[in-house]
């Protein structure tokens, strides 16, 4: 093989491309685990069409000797699984990209390597083992551990008959042998530390964070990309004692989660923008009856059905203003898996403490991205339920606005909550005087909520000239883009709590010569919010709203232009 | 038997019109609870919005007065979290069969152990006299000036069609029957619907106390409510409305009992982790 095939930088970016139903996800699932157990850092993310069969989907796997957490445009190896798998990705294929696959899919391409996956699979008894062959070939190319390959192939097919498992293992081993002899060398040094880490994606991080926060109730209605969080909690329901209901619609789901908190559970809903739109009246109910709810909203591009399987940060305004009337709320937007875990757990504590709706705002990109992580940090479950007596008043007016919250059956008090304006006992009222007291009591909580503000994280030099501001899932892409630019006058400020904003953060802005906002939406919703809250200059904005996530290269170029 | 006054809210400012059927229902509910000797601390009355939905405001028990149409999802969730509570979802025909129609269907499918009392006065009271889902075709209302031109919703037939585990209809003016049916519904294991025909003296001049007396009849003792075909026949006969237990299927699994946290441990999720 010629020189072009050798990438000595300790990293390879592999893209698998094919139709829905061709097994790309199985290859991703197994190969990421094989790579991780071989001691390689792994990052994987997928982009897919809203269909169950056909079309074109792709998965990117970055396998590296250094930590990798972001999507890149660069493709070192692309594996087409059918005859039109390359077309949509043409712009990312350069003269350095190796095209590896069935000869009939790749033979017309420059820089291609044909491997007869099908034929090899058939030699082990069935054409359908071709994905195992492909996994083997790729494992051979990256120098993965052979035992890890055998282990994960066997594990994936463990419910199949013994001979099928064996055939897949042998097919993969044959592929592995071929992969090693193709003459492609990616010198990736294994790291022992990685082997003991766990592979996780955003959905698991949110679901496990919910469990860590004491979530024991979920009612939801399936909607991409948020369904996976619901599924994960359902899978964990026996182990962790979670009440699960697939509700008839999102309206039921949200009302159920609120009523579950009322009765003493810690409930959540997982939905996307369209589903959440149906829940907004219930959010207002939570505001009025001062009963917590945790909402996980996995964003996708709207309006309406939009691009159901793609990504966007377009629903910040929706959660900020959802629900009629005035009441406090908190919005988190995690930037990585660890934050997704911690902030989801925290959402339950904060919802309980202040008796308010708390949002965890993610998106398709974060939910569907995998990488290896250390064990997640310990989180304390904080519970605020009180035992009541006969004289209990659910809406007792207090200095900080928080009325101790009882639940039915725990103590002798009666728990009376009312969506109408109410007095301290929860009884309906039209007294203007009581109304004013209750409005002020509810809004007073906001002052204390700000004490629990999660400060934004500064990445880079403290004495910066340029400050790149971002929120939510773009954290790691922006970070790597700035590292790539290599200019120590540029730093990044990432917000994982986007509402309410503490005035303390204004200092970061005052220090900067120029502030550049990066958002994955068309109007710069977070920039607009900060302008409103802090009055800072938000005139420099890098925005993307194609439904496709930013790449590191693309952002590096755009940020570079802003600092010229 | 407990005294009914233990369920009274002192100084309640009741928002119902004089002569409203709701006064009958509130007495019937309190009597049923008293006869069953259920402490206020064990009962949650969940309601939506409407004149009927004000019921829990006037009953001393736990109260979840939520959103219009959403009494059932809230009731189901409360029962899931704490199966030891007696959960009564109580609202009107508009709230339950109109705004909350989808929840009505799916709650019956789930079969949680809750009681669903529907004040069915065949009109909208709180919004002042528009047609409800159960208003008769042709009836002139404050909105339908030429009369209603859609068929009424038949909650009993829908419930029987969905194999609801307990379906009863009564008339608020029949005190003893209503008390008896509410008691049976509370004691029934599974979802229990009690559709209570109730005059709206202000906005429904058709379905009056007299009209209900003349157009209803009591199911005979010989009637077998477990016969689904017979029940469906009774349910679809709208010339004269049958009162009593119309249908019963006591053999259905209970929703909350099948949920993962209760498979090996019956402790309500509500109390787990709390010192009792």
Taking only the tens place, the pLDDT of each residue in B125-139 is 999 999 999 999 999
Q: Write down the mean pLDDT value for chain B.
A: 97
Q: What is the pLDDT of residues B40-83, one digit of tens each?
A: 999 999 999 999 999 999 999 999 999 999 999 999 999 999 99
Q: Which domains does chain A have, with CATH numbers?
A: 3-195 (3.40.920.10), 201-373 (3.40.50.970), 385-452 (no CATH), 457-563 (3.40.50.920)
| Share of residues in chain A with pLDDT > 90 (%) | 94
pLDDT, residue B218, reads 98
| A346 has a pLDDT exceeding 70 | yes
Q: What is the pLDDT of residues A141-190, one digit of tens each?
A: 999 999 999 999 999 999 999 999 999 999 999 999 999 999 887 889 99
For the residues A397-414, what does the mean pLDDT come to? 98
Mutate to test the interface with A, among B96, B103, B270, B272 (most CBs of A within 10 A): B270
Q: What is the pLDDT of residues A219-263, one digit of tens each?
A: 999 999 999 999 999 999 999 999 999 999 999 999 999 999 999
* A9 band by pLDDT with thresholds 50, 70 and 90: confident
Nearest to A172 by CA among A49, A36, A67, A31: A31
All residues of chain B having their beta carbon less than 8 Å from the beta carbon of residue A244 are: 259-260
* Chain A residues 324-363 with CB within 8 Å of chain B: none
Residue ranges of alpha helices (H) inside chain B are 21-35, 71-81, 93, 101-110, 155-161, 175-187, 209-215, 228-236
Task: Indicate the domain borders of chain B.
Answer: 29-271
All residues of chain B having their beta carbon less than 8 Å from the beta carbon of residue A385 are: 274
pLDDT, residue A489, reads 97
| B184 has a pLDDT exceeding 60 | yes
B67:A281 CB<8 A: yes
* B193 band by pLDDT with thresholds 50, 70 and 90: very high
- Cβ B208 vs Cβ B147: under 8 Å: no
All residues of chain B having their beta carbon less than 8 Å from the beta carbon of residue A267 are: 77
DSSP A306-375: --TTS-----HHHHHH-SSS----EEE--SSHHHHHHHHHHHHHHHHHHTSEEEEEEEHHHHH-EEEEPP
Contact pairs from chain A to chain B, CB under 8 Å: 163
pLDDT, residue B275, reads 86
- Cβ B195 vs Cβ B168: under 8 Å: yes
* Chain A residues 193-252 with CB within 8 Å of chain B: 214, 216-217, 219, 237-238, 241-245, 247-249, 251-252
All residues of chain A having their beta carbon less than 8 Å from the beta carbon of residue B56 are: 416
For A244, the closest chain B residue by CA position comes to B259
Assess whether the previous peptide bond of A225 is cis (omega < 30° from 0).
yes
- Cβ A452 vs Cβ A425: under 8 Å: no
For the residues B111-115, what does the mean pLDDT come to? 98
| A2 has a pLDDT exceeding 90 | no
Mutate to test the interface with B, among A220, A237, A264, A280 (most CBs of B within 10 A): A264
- CA distance, residue B73 to nearest chain A CA (Å): 5
pLDDT, residue B85, reads 98
* A6 band by pLDDT with thresholds 50, 70 and 90: very low
Class of domain B29-271 as given by CATH: alpha beta
Name which of A244, A281, A409 is nearest B85 (Cβ-Cβ). A409
| Share of residues in chain B with pLDDT > 70 (%) | 100
For the residues A519-532, what does the mean pLDDT come to? 98
B63:A249 CB<8 A: no
Q: What is the pLDDT of residues A25-71, one digit of tens each?
A: 999 999 999 999 999 999 999 999 988 888 899 999 999 999 999 99
Name which of A244, A263, A412 is nearest B260 (Cβ-Cβ). A244
- Cβ A243 vs Cβ B269: under 8 Å: yes
The single residue listed with the structure tokens 């929840």 is B103
| A7 has a pLDDT exceeding 90 | no
* A3 band by pLDDT with thresholds 50, 70 and 90: very low
- Cβ A76 vs Cβ A113: under 8 Å: no
The single residue listed with the structure tokens 């007016």 is A397
């Amino acid at each position: 093989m010629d020189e072009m095939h050798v990438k000595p930088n300790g990293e390879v970016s592999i893209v698998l491309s094919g139709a829905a139903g061709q097994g790309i996800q199985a290859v991703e699932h197994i190969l990421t685990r094989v790579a991780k157990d071989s001691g390689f850092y792994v990052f994987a993310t997928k982009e897919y069409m809203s269909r169950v069969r056909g079309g074109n989907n792709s998965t990117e796997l970055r396998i590296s000797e250094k930590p990798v957490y972001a999507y890149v445009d660069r493709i070192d190896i692309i594996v087409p699984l059918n005859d039109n798998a390359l077309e949509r990705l043409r712009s990312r294929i350069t003269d350095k990209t190796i095209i590896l696959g069935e000869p009939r899919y790749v033979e017309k391409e420059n820089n291609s390597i044909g491997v007869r996956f099908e034929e090899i699979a058939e030699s082990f008894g069935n054409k359908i083992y071709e994905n195992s062959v492909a996994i083997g070939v790729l494992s051979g190319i990256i120098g993965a551990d052979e035992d890890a390959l055998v282990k994960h192939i066997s594990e994936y097919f463990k419910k199949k008959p013994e001979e099928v498992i064996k055939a897949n293992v042998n097919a993969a081993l044959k592929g592995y042998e071929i992969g090693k002899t193709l003459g492609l060398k990616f010198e990736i040094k294994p790291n022992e530390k990685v082997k003991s880490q766990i592979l996780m994606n955003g959905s698991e991080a949110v679901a496990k964070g919910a469990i860590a926060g004491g979530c024991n109730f979920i009612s939801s209605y399936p909607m991409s990309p948020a369904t996976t969080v619901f599924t994960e909690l359902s899978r964990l329901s026996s182990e962790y004692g979670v009440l699960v209901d697939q509700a008839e619609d999102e309206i039921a789901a949200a009302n159920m989660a609120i009523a579950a908190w009322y009765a003493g559970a810690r409930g959540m809903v997982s939905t996307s923008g369209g589903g959440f739109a149906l829940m907004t009246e219930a959010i207002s109910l939570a505001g009025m009856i001062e009963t917590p709810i945790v909402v996980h909203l996995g964003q996708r591009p709207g309006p309406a059905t939009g691009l159901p399987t793609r990504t966007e940060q377009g629903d910040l305004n929706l959660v900020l203003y959802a629900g009629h009337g005035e009441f406090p709320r908190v919005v988190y937007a995690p930037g990585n898996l660890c934050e997704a875990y911690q902030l989801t757990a925290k959402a339950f504590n904060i919802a309980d403490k202040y008796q308010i709706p708390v949002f965890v705002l993610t998106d398709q990109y974060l939910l569907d991205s995998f990488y290896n992580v250390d064990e997640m940090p310990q989180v304390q479950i904080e519970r605020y339920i009180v035992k009541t007596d006969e004289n209990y008043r659910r809406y007792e007016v207090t200095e900080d606005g928080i009325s101790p919250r009882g639940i039915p059956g725990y103590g002798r008090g009666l728990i009376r909550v009312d969506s109408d304006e109410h007095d301290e006992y929860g009884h309906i009222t039209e007294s203007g005087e009581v109304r004013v007291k209750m409005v002020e009591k509810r809004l007073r909580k906001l002052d204390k909520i700000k004490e629990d503000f999660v400060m934004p994280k500064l990445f880079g030099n403290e004495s910066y000239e340029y400050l790149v501001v971002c929120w939510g899932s773009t954290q790691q892409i922006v970070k790597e883009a700035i590292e790539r630019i290599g200019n120590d006058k540029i730093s990044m400020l990432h917000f994982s709590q986007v509402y309410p904003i503490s005035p303390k953060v204004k200092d970061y802005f005052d220090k900067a010569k120029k502030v550049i906002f990066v958002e994955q939406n068309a109007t710069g919703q977070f920039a607009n919010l900060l302008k409103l809250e802090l009055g800072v200059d938000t005139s420099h904005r890098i925005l993307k709203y194609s439904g496709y996530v930013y790449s590191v290269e693309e952002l590096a170029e755009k940020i570079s232009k802003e600092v010229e | 038997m407990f005294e009914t006054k233990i369920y009274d809210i002192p100084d309640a400012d009741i928002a119902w019109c004089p002569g409203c059927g709701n006064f009958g229902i509130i007495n019937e509910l309190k009597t049923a609870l008293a006869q069953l000797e259920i402490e206020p601390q064990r009962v949650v009355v969940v309601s939506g919005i409407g004149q009927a939905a004000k019921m829990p405001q006037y009953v001393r028990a736990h109260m979840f007065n939520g959103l219009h149409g959403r009494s059932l999802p809230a009731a189901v969730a409360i029962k899931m979290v704490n199966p030891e509570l007696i959960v009564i979802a109580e609202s009107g025909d508009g709230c339950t069969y109109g705004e909350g129609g989808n929840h009505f269907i799916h709650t019956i499918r789930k079969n949680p152990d809750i009681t669903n009392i529907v004040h069915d006065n065949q009109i909208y009271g709180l919004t002042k006299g528009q047609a409800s889902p159960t208003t008769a075709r042709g009836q002139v209302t404050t909105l339908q000036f030429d009369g209603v031109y859609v068929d009424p919703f038949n909650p009993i037939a829908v419930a029987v069609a969905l194999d609801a585990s307990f379906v009863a209809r009564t008339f608020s003016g029949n005190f003893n029957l209503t008390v008896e049916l509410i008691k049976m519904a509370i004691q029934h294991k599974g979802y229990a619907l009690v559709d209570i025909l109730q005059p709206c003296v202000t906005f429904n001049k058709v379905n009056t106390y007299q009209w209900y007396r003349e157009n209803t009849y009591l199911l005979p003792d010989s009637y077998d409510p477990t016969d689904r075909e017979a029940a469906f026949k009774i349910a679809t006969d709208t010339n004269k409305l049958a009162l009593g237990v119309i249908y019963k299927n006591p053999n259905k699994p209970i929703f909350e009992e099948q949920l993962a946290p209760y498979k090996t441990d019956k402790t309500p999720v509500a109390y787990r982790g709390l010192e009792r």
